[in-house]
Structure 1
Amino acid sequence: MIRDRFGPLSTRLLAAFLVVALSSVVVLTGGALWGTGRGLEAAETAARRQAADRVAAAVAAAYTAAGGWGGVNLAAAADLATGAGARLVVRTADGVTVSGHGRGMPMNTGTGAGRVETRVVAGGAVVGSVLLAFGSPSDPAARDVAWGWILLAAGVALVVAGLATWFVGRRIVVPLARLTRAARRISAGDRSARAGVHAPGELGELATAFDHMAEEVARAERTRRDLTGDVAHELRTPLAALQAGLEELRDGLAEPDAARLSALHDQAQRLGRIVRDLAELAEAESAALSLQWRETDLAEVARTAVRAHDAHLRAAGLEVVTELEPGVVVRADPDRLHQALGNLLSNCARHARRGARVTVRVRRAGETALVEVHDTGPGIPAEELGHVFERRWRGDSARGTAGTGIGLAVVKELVTAHGGTVTATSGGDGTLFTITLPRSPAR
């Protein structure tokens, strides 16, 4: 279970989240340090400028009190400079140095980033200048504080990345692990295995599609198994009758008269019909690989199919009516469509009541072509309509009717191979089978 929850995908997710978190921290750190440095530099420059202005004002006051540079008392100005952490240099307007004050300050009086110079104005005239030479910048302490917050933010980002990985891992990796286990069980033969995952978004859709696929696989296997049993049952009865009849003839217990031979012939025909139905189904399932495509007039196909089955339909006591719109052309294999339509007509002959009417209609419907076979027979119960195109399915009303229940499944396979659909509807006026095919663009 731990390996399922925190397998390679979880590890990769954790690595991805950590890389994103660390990258974000690095980018934010660079931006924070740059912004902090610029902010501290601007603040320190403004503070130094204000200190220089205050010192210049104190020097101007001393100059005015002394009436000139001779005997000027610069003690107050020196105290202000020392308080600001700078060395004070006072010059006259001619550039002569009057005095330099400040403890531990450098003696170089040139210009630079750590020096601020401003004019001394007394009586409305510039009488000299002051130069404040500051020491080392005061920002290392501020940078240390910034680094502390940055490290704290990095720690929080890593913790959030770990929690996000755990959360996403549970939402993604655990459902994927369940899907994997279910797929392995199905491949091992357990057709009852289901993922049973309820997840949001595409992962939930994948899980739902997987379970639906598993249901279809299980249903198809049940259908094949039931088909095998039903075919064996259908074959067993005529084979048993043939065997018993032949044994009677062999042992001289019955005369080989016309009635006896005719009964044996009927059983042989029943066997042949079952084999033909199975062969048609197998052929229809591979029809997409063997279609002979060409422009086909549906009215002509329907007319030919009705003509071929007319005797069978009339023998069943059915009235046949055709409503064939000319010029309804599709790209198809006419032989396969003839086969599909013939199966629908045979189904009518087998299940419709005597005296019923069978209407075969061909018409346009927008960009599609419709072939409709409608009989006024007893209809199909609503609960059985969804199963009529399943292999070997036969409704309750058809239990006593000869056949294997494969004919309509063949129709569905053939129509699907043409890119079309076939539907069945039933009501008080009988049953309507509708084949829908795409019309040729030129028609």
Structure 2
Amino acid sequence: MKISQKLFLAFVGLTSVVLIATLSLARWGFDQGFISYTNSLQQERLEELAVSYSELYQQSAYDWNNVSKKKFAQIIRQFTPLHGPFEGAERKGPPPRPKHKPPRFDGPPPHLTGEARGDLPPHLRDSNQTVPPKRRRPVTALYSISGQLLAGDKFDILGSTISVDVTYNDQVIATLYTKAVVKVNSISAEAFSKQQLWTSIWIGLLCLILASLISWVLARLLLIPVREVVNGISHLSKGNYNERFKVAREDELGLLMNDIDHLAMTLDKNRTAKNRWFADISHELRTPLSILCGEIDAIKAGIRPFNQQQLTSLEQEVMRIKHLVDDLYQLSLSDVGGLKYHFEPTDITLCIAETLNSLADKVSDKGLSLNFIHTKTITINGDKMRLQQLLYNVILNSVAYTDSPGSINIDLIEELGSLSILINDTKPGVPLDECELLFDALHRQDSSRVRRSNGAGLGLTICRNIVEAHNGHITARPSNLGGLCIEISLPTL
């Protein structure tokens, strides 16, 4: 089943449940409200009766014994309708006279068959219709304060009843009772109730049809961005990383589209980096191999003699290839997490001092000066060998790319829970937009800081992986000395 069909069925099902619940509650509320309205009419009728009986009590010399039963019944009939949605006693007394006087028949009527009965007047054709049906009144009773029935019908006043006190001079002289309506059984009331029921059903069906149409439209509209996402993923699966979503949305689908765009950009960037990686590696390997092949061909042809000088030249090219292969191996290990780390409390100040001692000869041969004055012990949790490798590569990079005479300053800034190692060198510098590219593998910078050593441009990439393994980060920016500033941030103990 398609998503559009599922959405359509979900919308229609939810609408149906809400409609059924709403109409059921509305129906229940209508019945309860109608019964409550009927009982309120009964309450008003009893209040009017109470006023009349209070006046009757005053006219009878303040004694109910002076009132005749006929007078009691007359007042009750006066304020009691002969119709209405009530459950009550049937009307007593003779049936009402018909409006048209029926014709007289001499003698007793013979036993009539169905055919002969058709000759009779309409009100005498059916034996069940010879007397009009008895009409109902609401059951009403008047009780004295002593519990004596004064007028009306006798019934259980302890049940569901409505009562109103008859008062005179703020004193209760009697109580009126009537049965409370718990069920509407009038023909007109039932007809009205059925009419309301069918009206509600038709309204519900109309709303359901309208909701179905709206659900169908909404399902199609909501699936438009989903189809765009599917098409975008299809382009990615085919290797087309240049397709972008042109619709700007602020909802979850918009976030998904932005993530897919970012994924496409990342895949395109990785593919470009992979192609550049292969090209750079092949170039780095082709250069020393070309030199080796040329030197060997020259020796074989007798153009150059095979002596110590030529052997040293060949050794330099072989060591260059070996250095490149070692860097590639170290980088591959760091990328896949294959470098082994043994974390322990390590004095970073001592690591820097030992690294500077190992680079003292290269710094002096280049004509540079190293400035590092820090005797305070700063302990971090790290691998001493990897930290020395990190510091060696970063400082050696500054030595290789700093013009002579120049200087390299190393500063430590200790903050709460972190340590920043700043390595600043003098000219030449690096533009700000290319600083972060220095940590990309085999990155070549077209500026005054060209590669001046036998390195392949993998050292800073390995340094970044080592720093990240120590839960830190490394950044590059232009130095205030005119060169480059490398900042290494590491957490402290």
- TM above 0.5, one fold? yes
**Residues 376-403 of structure 1: CA distance to partner in whole angstroms, max 9, x if unpaired?**
2222112312312112112212345343
The aligned residue for residue 252 of structure 1 is 302
Q: Equivalences for 1:176-325 in 2 at 5 Å?
A: 176-287=226-337, 290-324=340-374
Residue 167 in structure 1 maps to residue 218 in structure 2: yes
Choose the corresponding residue for 1:35, options 23, 29, 40: 29
- How far apart in 2 are the matches of 1:71 and 1:240? 137
Segment drifting more, 265-274 vs 142-151: 142-151
| TM-score, scaled to structure 1 | 0.80
What is the CA distance between 1:211 and its match in structure 2?
1.4
- How far apart in 2 are the matches of 1:376 and 1:85? 105
**Contact 1:309–1:346 under 8 Å retained in 2:** yes
Residue 128 in structure 1 maps to residue 148 in structure 2: no
- Change beyond 3 A, Cα 1:271–1:40: same
- Change beyond 3 A, Cα 1:253–1:127: closer
- Change beyond 3 A, Cα 1:177–1:315: farther
Q: Equivalences for 1:39-118 in 2 at 5 Å?
A: 39-47=33-41, 77=77, 81-82=81-82, 99-101=93-95, 104-106=132-134, 115-118=138-141
Choose the corresponding residue for 2:20, options 15, 26, 32: 26
Task: For 1:10, give the aligned amino acid.
Answer: S
- How far apart in 1 are the matches of 2:43 and 2:185? 15
The aligned residue for residue 94 of structure 1 is none
**Contact 2:444–2:451 under 8 Å retained in 1:** no
- How far apart in 2 are the matches of 1:362 and 1:49? 93
What is the CA distance between 1:210 and its match in structure 2?
2.3
**Residues 70-105 of structure 1: CA distance to partner in whole angstroms, max 9, x if unpaired?**
89997x959974465889868xxxxxx7x3546744
**Residues 13-36 of structure 1: CA distance to partner in whole angstroms, max 9, x if unpaired?**
333323322222222222111111
**Contact 2:90–2:134 under 8 Å retained in 1:** no
**Contact 1:372–1:435 under 8 Å retained in 2:** yes
- Change beyond 3 A, Cα 1:245–1:120: closer
* Larger Rg computed on CA atoms: 2
Segment drifting more, 15-24 vs 145-154: 145-154
3-state secondary structure, aligned to 1:374: strand
3-state secondary structure, aligned to 2:363: helix
**Identity across the alignment (%):** 19
The aligned residue for residue 341 of structure 1 is 391
What is the CA distance between 1:288 and its match in structure 2?
6.4
What is the CA distance between 1:278 and its match in structure 2?
1.7
Whichever structure has more helix as a proportion of its residues is 1
The aligned residue for residue 418 of structure 1 is 470
Task: For 1:235, give the aligned amino acid.
Answer: L
- Change beyond 3 A, Cα 1:83–1:174: closer
Task: For 2:221, give the aligned amino acid.
Answer: R
**Residues 80-138 of structure 1: CA distance to partner in whole angstroms, max 9, x if unpaired?**
74465889868xxxxxx7x354674449x9xxxx74214499xxx99633799996361
The aligned residue for residue 16 of structure 1 is 10
Segment drifting more, 394-403 vs 266-275: 394-403
Segment drifting more, 394-403 vs 218-227: 394-403
The aligned residue for residue 93 of structure 1 is none
- How far apart in 2 are the matches of 1:54 and 1:427? 102
What is the CA distance between 1:38 and its match in structure 2?
0.9
Task: For 1:410, give the aligned amino acid.
Answer: I
- How far apart in 2 are the matches of 1:349 and 1:317? 10
- How far apart in 1 are the matches of 2:90 and 2:226? 77
What is the CA distance between 1:48 and its match in structure 2?
5.1
- How far apart in 1 are the matches of 2:52 and 2:89? 12
- How far apart in 1 are the matches of 2:254 and 2:43? 66
Structure 1: where are the runs of 5+ without partners? 1-6, 91-96
Residue 329 in structure 1 maps to residue 379 in structure 2: yes
What is the CA distance between 1:280 and its match in structure 2?
2.4
Aligned length: 415
What is the CA distance between 1:426 and its match in structure 2?
0.6
Structure 2: where are the runs of 5+ without partners? 60-66, 97-130, 155-177
Task: For 2:335, give the aligned amino acid.
Answer: E
- Change beyond 3 A, Cα 1:127–1:348: closer
What is the CA distance between 1:368 and its match in structure 2?
0.8
The aligned residue for residue 195 of structure 2 is 144
